[in-house]
A and B are shown apart, each in its own frame.
Chain A
Amino acid sequence: MRKFLIEGLTHRPLTEPAPGPADPALEKLGLQVQSAQHQRLGRSLAIRMVDAGSCNGCELEIHALSNPFYDLERFGLRFVASPRHADVLLVTGPVTRNMVEALRRTHDAMPDPKWVVAAGDCAKDGGCFAGSYAIAGGVASVLAVDLHIPGCPPAPIELLKGLLVVLDSAARA
């Protein structure tokens, strides 16, 4: 273990610079947030992640956000275990009918102000699972979505860009 600790002290971190200004498409999707809310939140957001029926591919890339290359927490973004501590609900997957109630209840448990980010092509409109008897649709069929991050699954850098848009609009008065 000593070897790893010494390496940690003597080597430069692997963490990569933050992605540049988000692309205009994402910017356009940026959130309209009232100024009073920004002041209360500052530059930090707690994220509660809910898989509403994904294939688990999106989760793998969301996990990757915490690895040393992307290091999500340096931006003040962190995942929390309880919706009661969360500002952002990050939802993946086509929403299955079996998950509609759990998704809605999780959202209900979050305090205001709150945002909903839908990640992945399935979360937009059901993706390739749309039309099945078991699928309610995209996240927007259950909750009002503030931002959608496309991809199947979205690469971590795309997820990061999207989440930074949320953070920026939350911080911009």
Chain B
Amino acid sequence: MPETFQLIPIAAQALRSRPIEAQRVSRVPWSQAAHQLAEGRLTLLGLWASPSAVSMAVLDGAHHLGLLRVDARRGSFPSVGRLHPAAQRLERTIADLYGIIPEDAPDTRPWLDHGCWGLTHPMGETAPQPEAPGPYAFLPVEGESLHQVAVGPVHAGIIEPGHFRFTVQGETVVRLEQRLGYTHKGTASLMAGAPVARGAQLAGRSSGDSTVAYAWAFAQAVEAATATQVPDRALWLRALMAELERLANHLGDVGAICNDAAFGMMLAQCSVLRERVLRTCDLCFGHRMMRDRVVPGGVAQDVDTARVQALVDLVAEIRATLPSLVALYDKVASLQDRTVSTGTLTEALARRFGAGGFVGRAAGRNFDTRKHLPYAPYDQLQFRVPCRSEGDVNARIWQRIEEMEESLSLIAQILARLPSGPIAVPLTPPDASREGLGLVEGFRGDVLIWVALDNRGRIAHSHMRDPSWFQWPLLEAVIEGNIIADFPLCNKSFNCSYSGQDL
């Protein structure tokens, strides 16, 4: 009888609190899981390699998470991307870094490896780079009166590097192809063999705008692997920082999106509020972006009553100002003209790619790890996960506005109910090699971090999956049929991380 794949979900209580064990499957059920991804019965949460195996995190329809693993000691594994396009860039990455080949993969071009490292497969069987590779083979485009516009890696603004190849007909974009990997820093190689504290430092620098979310997800992963129980106050302070981070990013982005539609006033007003948030964070946590404040075992900094009051005042100020900014956005017709029905993401595509964060939620994929794979203290807090269906730039702006309102309410609740007690505990030393998984809802979406510790408590292997992995490809889709002048607007409304996806 042929094997049939049946997902064995990780129990909700075990996720993030106990070491996890992957569901080891052979090649046939692995491919069956890939079919289920393609059929939409499962959603891909992550796909990564370690030197001898390939692992895949998936979510079923009832939001149960499973971790599958297939052996790759022969140097290959059955491609998931062959059936499910959302996996393709992740598989190209596995091939680049480990030399593990996805069999029958539709796209065998390198992704992060631009031929500049001087070596191949840095995480697997390394060999010196044979020769300088030829130019990257962009997908061919055929048709009448088409021309191409190449942008990047160095862009006109203050923005991370990446290359965009537009094929346009007149002003209309027929196809966008992205080429990323310019900020690849080889973080996973630095993590391998490193102590946990160093890992936390690196995790917090994967995508600077999400430093709290990353540090928290990393902390969750090692705390799960070591079955460490973190004190309540630490968890609440983490959530406080995470919501402040969400608020600051949404404020900055809403202003920047409007600025890309030449409405500078909104940027000026939003950037004032953003600066106020960052200054209050600096006052309360000793760093404007709260970097290195979430540490494995707890948090690095407590807040006293004066600081709690400063945060209460901040919430009051933003609550007093935000409605007039929202009204400003709502009432300027020339601005709406640019954002409404621009860069529309369909719900079907958002679901297929498992797009998280405001990108998914603005297009009808209602998923938020704080709600659907909950972790403390969110299970004890009142909040709504806004969701809408239009999927255009306008929807993403409204989505962010509503998420800011929820964050303000969460911050107020946390400040009112902050439990007392210690803010950190030492990690329980592991007795054997163990794995843990962390999942945190950052401002951009769900950050997934997998860590395998060795029996001395050092990091053996790790993987950090930025939400952008499942959002970048959608940006290629939504720009199609829009005018090229609207690209900055679409791009900013997604605001995917380059550094986070480049690893």
Contact = CB atoms under 8 A, between A and B. Distances in A.
The answer to whether A and B assemble together is yes
Interface of A: 1, 3-4, 14, 49-64, 66-69, 79, 81-83, 93-94, 96-103, 106, 128-129, 131-135, 152-153, 155
A56 B272 CA distance: 20
A152 B497 contact: no
A54 B158 contact: no
Given A94-B185, A102-B153, A1 B159 contact: no
Contact of B291 (A57, A62, A68, A81): A57
Tell me which of A50, A62, A83, A133 has the highest count of chain B C-beta atoms within 10 A of its own C-beta: A133
Nearest to A135: B185
A50 B159 contact: no
Interface in B160-179: 160-161
A83 B156 CA distance: 9
B159 A51 contact: yes
Contact of A133 (B119, B268, B499): B119
B185 A57 contact: no
B13 to A, nearest CB: 34
B463 to A, nearest CB: 16
Interface in B120-160: 122, 153-154, 156-160
B269 A67 contact: no
B441 interface: no
Given A129-B187, A133-B186, A55 B205 contact: yes
Contacts of B498: 56
B74 to A, nearest CB: 25
B190 A55 contact: no
Interface in B263-278: 265, 268-269, 271-272, 274-275, 278
Contacts of A94: 185
Contacts of A128: 190, 198, 201-202, 205
Interface stretch (B206-214, B298-306, B344-352): B206-214
A128 B272 CA distance: 31
A102 B154 contact: yes
A56 B498 CA distance: 8
18 contacts: A1-B328, A4-B265, A4-B269, A4-B324, A14-B272, A53-B161, A56-B497, A58-B208, A66-B271, A67-B275, A68-B268, A69-B272, A96-B182, A98-B181, A129-B205, A132-B190, A133-B118, A152-B205
A131 B160 contact: no
B208 A56 contact: yes
Contacts of B252: 60, 63
B338 interface: no
B122 A3 contact: no
Interface residues of B, number: 54
Given A54-B160, A93-B183, A1 B205 contact: no
Contacts of B416: none
B288 interface: yes
Contacts of A49: 158
A105 B353 CA distance: 36
B199 to A, nearest CB: 11
Given A54-B208, A55-B207, A153-B208, A102 B186 contact: no
A103 B184 CA distance: 15
Contact of B324 (A3, A79, A81, A132): A3
B289 A153 contact: yes
Contacts of A3: 324
A62 B158 contact: yes
Given A55-B207, A55-B499, A60-B208, A155 B182 contact: no
Interface in B234-265: 252, 256, 265
A99 B182 contact: yes
B11 interface: no
B332 A1 contact: yes
Contacts of A155: 282, 288
Given A57-B291, A64-B278, A81-B156, A96 B190 contact: no
Contacts of B112: 98
B183 A50 contact: no
A81 B190 CA distance: 34
A131 B275 contact: no
Contacts of A153: 208, 289
A63 B185 CA distance: 23
A71 B274 CA distance: 15
A99 B186 CA distance: 13
B428 interface: no
Tell me which of A51, A53, A102, A129 has the highest count of chain B C-beta atoms within 10 A of its own C-beta: A51
A57 B116 contact: no
A128 B497 CA distance: 19
B399 to A, nearest CB: 21
Nearest to A55: B208
B275 A98 contact: no
Contacts of A63: 158, 252, 256, 271
Given A68-B271, A100-B116, A133-B118, 18 more contacts: A51-B158, A51-B159, A53-B182, A55-B205, A56-B208, A60-B208, A66-B271, A68-B268, A79-B157, A83-B154, A96-B184, A97-B114, A98-B114, A99-B153, A132-B190, A134-B185, A135-B185, A135-B186
B208 A50 contact: no
Given A57-B289, A106-B154, A51 B186 contact: no
A111 B128 CA distance: 37
Nearest to A79: B158
A152 B209 CA distance: 12
Contacts of A134: 117, 122, 184-186, 189
Tell me which of A56, A101, A103 has the highest count of chain B C-beta atoms within 10 A of its own C-beta: A56
Given A1-B332, A98-B183, A68 B208 contact: no
Contacts of A96: 182-185
A26 B494 CA distance: 38
Nearest to B156: A81
A100 B183 CA distance: 11
B206 to A, nearest CB: 6
